[in-house]
Amino acid sequence: MLLPTLSLIIGAVLFTISFRMVSQANPSERIPQLWGRPARHPRRIHAVRAAAIGLLLLGVAGWSSTLGYAGLLLLLPAFLPVMIMNVLHNRRVARGQHGQRGHPAAQPAAADSPLGPGQR
């Protein structure tokens, strides 16, 4: 059961990374929780999500031989970090704090910028 477990863990990590990529591409836009498409959706995310979903399905298939349909419940902990990150991202956007937490918009302009201090 090592391979299905590793598949679930790596798939969950890749899915979380793919959401982080979407979040960074949309620092000031809300991201739909379940259905819908964010304003900006870089193409490279498709490859990461495809790998994540493939690994998650491989892990569930491996555990389903032992757990039966209850193996599907193993997807919940895999998606939980992304659901939490999505809620936190949308709350930051709603509060107008979209430039917080390491997003590119959070980086202050250099004092020696040709546009002057505080301008980009």
Within-domain flag for 114: no
pLDDT at 109 over 50: no
Within-domain flag for 58: yes
Amino acid (one-letter) located at 90: N
- Three state DSSP letters for 12-48: HHHHHHHHHHHHHHCCCCCCCCCCCCCCCCCCHHHHH
Which domain covers residue 41, as residue numbers? Answer: 2-106
Total count of domains within the chain: 1
> For 46-97, how does the pLDDT look when each residue is reduced to its tens digit (9 = 90+)?
999 999 999 999 999 999 989 998 889 999 999 999 999 999 999 999 998 7
Within-domain flag for 54: yes
* 6 contact partners, CB below 8 Å, separation of at least 6: 59
Write down the pLDDT at residue 64.
Answer: 92
What global pTM score does this model have?
Answer: 0.75
- Alpha carbon 93 to chain centroid, angstroms: 16
Within-domain flag for 41: yes
Within-domain flag for 60: yes
